[in-house]
Amino acid sequence: MKFSVESRPSSTGSGDLLVLPYLDEKPLAHPAVQALLKKLGPTPLKLLKKEEFKGEAGDSRAFAAQGKLPFDYVLFMGLGTAKKLNLETLRKAAAKSAQTADRMKVKKMVSLLPLALDKKASAQEAGQAYAEGVVLGLYRFEKYKSKKEKDGNLREVRYVVGDAKAAKAFSTGHRAGEHIAQGVNYARDLVNTPARDKPPEFLGREAKKTRGVRTKVFNHRQLQRLGMGALYGVGMGSPNPPVFVEMHYRPRGRVKKRVAIVGKGITFDSGGLSLKPAKSMETMKDDMSGAATILAVMKLLPALKLPVEVYGYVASAENMPDGGAQRPGDVVKAYNGKTIEVLNTDAEGRLALADALSYLTKHRKVDYIIDVATLTGAALVALGDLYSAALGTDPDLIKMLKDCGEECGEKIWELPLAEEYAEEMKSQVADIQNIGGPYGGTINGALFLKNFVAEKAKWVHLDIAGPSWANKPWAYAPKGGTGIMVRTFLRLFSKF
């Protein structure tokens, strides 16, 4: 895809599709838009009025330009009201116009949407949001289709921006947005790949391939020798052995903060001997979404040159029920020495993370620890599939994550890390057990993890069981893996 930015609003040039912003129930008052409307003639506007087209955010109407403009079509793109206009509106509008263009077999689209910006967002932020909308919105996973849908029709997008200074900032933001969105799409590819083709060792190889970061992959023998009995146990029922991955990015210049990010990498979660019902298993190739987020973030970091030192961890296993599988009632020992009674083999994510958190707690000194995991179905029950749950020991970090998530369109909601419930996770035979009572499952999961970080650690656990997977397509994510939290993490790092 070719992107370019025009800084003279009066030179829209030509193309197949012209996109005009519709704000506060009318076409944008900008002189460039008005001049084009004049050429187009009164009919489209009359029809829009008759249809009672309000131009709500995401709503759009296309008309033939009928030779009145050097375009085949004009698309009126709703941006809602100026009062509510934000980065997420821009992202959604960019995605919608690109998707519409693609469906209409448009090759070149010229978009005047950036003119609606005004002082709502910096031109750089807007450029980034538009790029994210277009690149994420056009994502498809077609590797396994024998007949590819005709590989993208849209070839070129030209933006018309207010002036030269804005154009420069817009371009800078756009380049960053393209880069980041490609990283998100990489995470989506990993999640959408069938479990059969992405065993834990495959994730290890992906980590090794990442340029600009130092990567260590511990194979199953090494992690057994190291004493990562919890992660090892999860992998025992599968012919595909577990791996533990440590990645390290160190920026050239000054380091403002040190962060460890940890991802759950269960490449398939059958439940193990505590087998899941068939329906619940259908999407369980997505149980490595946390790991996909870590791999994508680490891959993106070197080019972004942010002043943060980042340790990325992937704890990966396949949770299967063969004859070697761990049994309900088995006891395993985690890397920090705590013993765990595995009462339910389907609560395996916390076992995998226990060793990763213990390892980094023992060996690395960081300011913040964030883990990201499709940990509990209970998170879906509590918050639906739009919100990720956040639980942790540091209210400031939770607040920062919530704010960054909001700006990225990746919503986060805090749940209490209620110590009172920890009682339920005491075991008869071991130090702790891996399940609590029937209620508050997401809280229980987080309380379990808390056993593996230091008392004073600033740690947040993100349960992405809902948003990691789109059950139906929405604004800029098709059905399937979403690559959630990649953008939120990078935004957080850019604010340190």
Where in the sequence numbering do the catalytic residues fall? 276, 350
Minimum gap (Å) between residue 472 Cβ and ligand BES: 15
Minimum gap (Å) between residue 88 Cβ and ligand BES: 24
Residue (224 or 344) nearer to ligand BES, CB: 344
490 binds, among ligand BES, Zn ion, none (CB under 5 to 8 A by kind): none
Residue (394 or 463) nearer to ligand BES, CB: 463
What token pair was written down for 366?
């960081």
Residue whose token pair is 């399940």: 435
Sequence-distant (≥ 6) Cβ neighbours of residue 453 within 8 angstroms: 357, 361, 369, 393, 459
349: contact with Zn ion by CB under 5 A: yes
341: contact with Zn ion by CB under 5 A: no
257 burial class (0-12, 13-18, 19+ CB within 10 angstroms)?
middle
385: contact with ligand BES by CB under 6 A: no
Beta bridge partners of 46: none
Residue (177 or 483) nearer to ligand BES, CB: 483
- Report the greatest alpha carbon distance in the chain: 81
* Binding track, positions 394-433, relative to ligand BES; x by CB under 6 A: ----------------------------------------
Sequence-distant (≥ 6) Cβ neighbours of residue 130 within 8 angstroms: 90, 91, 94, 111, 113, 114, 159, 170, 174, 177
* Binding track, positions 90-129, relative to ligand BES; x by CB under 6 A: ----------------------------------------
341 binds, among Zn ion, ligand BES, none (CB under 5 to 8 A by kind): none
Strand positions, DSSP E, 221-256: 243-249
Beta bridge partners of 317: 266
Residue whose token pair is 């023992």: 362
Stretch that binds ligand BES, among 127-135, 202-210, 374-382, 423-431 (CB under 6 A): 374-382
Residue (99 or 274) nearer to Zn ion, CB: 274
263: contact with ligand BES by CB under 6 A: no
* Contacts (CB under 5 A) with Zn ion, residues 283-312: 287
Residue of the chain from 160, 372, 404, 465 that contacts ligand BES (CB under 6 A): 465
Of 95, 401, 119, 69, residue with least CA distance to 261: 401
344 binds, among ligand BES, Zn ion, none (CB under 5 to 8 A by kind): ligand BES
465 binds, among Zn ion, ligand BES, none (CB under 5 to 8 A by kind): ligand BES
Instruction: Give the count of beta carbons closer than 10 Å to the beta carbon of residue 420.
Output: 10
348: contact with ligand BES by CB under 6 A: yes
16 burial class (0-12, 13-18, 19+ CB within 10 angstroms)?
buried
Residue of the chain from 378, 400, 412, 485 that contacts ligand BES (CB under 6 A): 378
315 binds, among Zn ion, ligand BES, none (CB under 5 to 8 A by kind): none
Residue of the chain from 99, 376, 388, 451 that contacts ligand BES (CB under 6 A): 376
Residue (118 or 282) nearer to ligand BES, CB: 282
71 three-state secondary structure: coil
Q: What is the DSSP string of 112-141?
A: -GGGG-TTSS-HHHHHHHHHHHHHHHT---
State the Cα–Cα distance between residues 312 and 246, nearest whole angstrom.
6
What token pair was written down for 428?
């008869």
Residue (295 or 352) nearer to Zn ion, CB: 352
287: contact with ligand BES by CB under 6 A: yes
Helix-, strand-, coil-residue percentages of the chain, each rounded to 5: 40, 20, 40
382: contact with ligand BES by CB under 6 A: no
Beta bridge partners of 247: 215, 312
Which positions touch ligand BES (CB under 6 A)? 269, 287, 344, 346-349, 374-378, 380, 435, 441, 465
Which positions touch Zn ion (CB under 5 A)? 266, 269, 287, 346, 348-349
